[in-house]
Structure 1
Amino acid sequence: MMTLARARRSVLYVPAANERAMTKAESLACDAIIFDLEDAVAASVKADARAALQAHFSASPTSTKGRIIRVNGAATAWGAEDLAVASVCKPDAVLLPKVETAEQVLEVRTALDRSNAPDTRLWAMIETPLGIVNIREIAALGAKPSIGLECLVAGTNDLAKETGLPLPEGRSTMMLWLASVIIHARAFGLDVLDGVYNDFNDADGFTAECRQGVNMGFGGKTLIHPKQIEPANTAFSPDTALIEEARAIVAAFAAPENSQRGVLSLNGRMVERLHAEMAARTLAKAGIVFNG
Structure 2
Amino acid sequence: MRPRRSVLYLPGANERALEKARTLPADALVLDLEDAVAPDAKATARDRVCEAVASGAYGERETAVRINGLGSAWHDADVRAVAPVGPDAVVVPKVGSAADVHAVDRALTDAGAPARTAVWAMVETPAAVLRAEEIATASERLTVLVLGTNDLAKELRAEFVPGRAPLLPSLSLCLLAARAAGKSIVDGVYNDVRDAEGFEAECVQARQFGFDGKTLVHPNQLDVCNRVFAPSEADVEHARRVIEALERAVADGRGVVTVDGRMVENLHVEQARRVLALHEAVTARESGETGR
How do 1:30-109 residues align onto structure 2 when only pairs under 5 Å count? 30-60=26-56, 63-109=59-105
Offset, 1:115: 1.9
Q: Does 1:288 align with 2:286?
A: no
Going by fraction, where is helix more abundant, 1 or 2? 2
- Unaligned regions of 5+ residues in structure 1, if any? 252-262
Partner of 2:116: 119
Indicate conservation of the 8 Å contact 2:159/2:166, yes or no.
no
Change (3 A) 1:248 1:110: farther
Offset, 1:235: 1.1
Offset, 1:277: 5.8
Number of residues of Structure 1 aligned to a counterpart in Structure 2:
272
What's the TM-score once normalised by structure 1's chain length? 0.84
**Secondary structure at the residue paired with 1:99?**
coil
Partner of 1:187: 180
- Unaligned regions of 5+ residues in structure 2, if any? 245-249, 253-257, 286-292
Partner of 1:23: 19
Partner of 1:176: 169
What's the TM-score once normalised by structure 2's chain length? 0.84
Given residue 37 of structure 1, which amino acid in structure 2 is its aligned partner?
Answer: L
Change (3 A) 1:114 1:175: same
1 or 2 for the larger relative contact order (CA 8 Å, sep ≥6)?
Answer: 1
- Shifted more, 107-116 versus 151-160: the winner is 107-116
Q: Does 1:163 align with 2:156?
A: yes
Partner of 1:138: 135
**Secondary structure at the residue paired with 1:26?**
helix
Taking the aligned partners of 2:87 and 2:269, their CA distance within structure 1 comes to: 30
Offset, 1:58: 2.9
Q: Aligned residues: percent identity?
A: 43
Taking the aligned partners of 1:208 and 1:31, their CA distance within structure 2 comes to: 20
Offset, 1:103: 0.6
Given residue 178 of structure 1, which amino acid in structure 2 is its aligned partner?
Answer: L
Structure 1: which 4+ aligned runs deviate by more than 6 Å?
A: 247-251, 271-276
RMSD (CA atoms): 2.9
Taking the aligned partners of 1:89 and 1:140, their CA distance within structure 2 comes to: 26
1:14 pairs with one of 10, 18, 23: 10
Taking the aligned partners of 1:245 and 1:90, their CA distance within structure 2 comes to: 40
Partner of 1:258: none
Change (3 A) 1:204 1:274: closer
- Shifted more, 273-282 versus 211-220: the winner is 273-282
Indicate conservation of the 8 Å contact 2:133/2:181, yes or no.
no
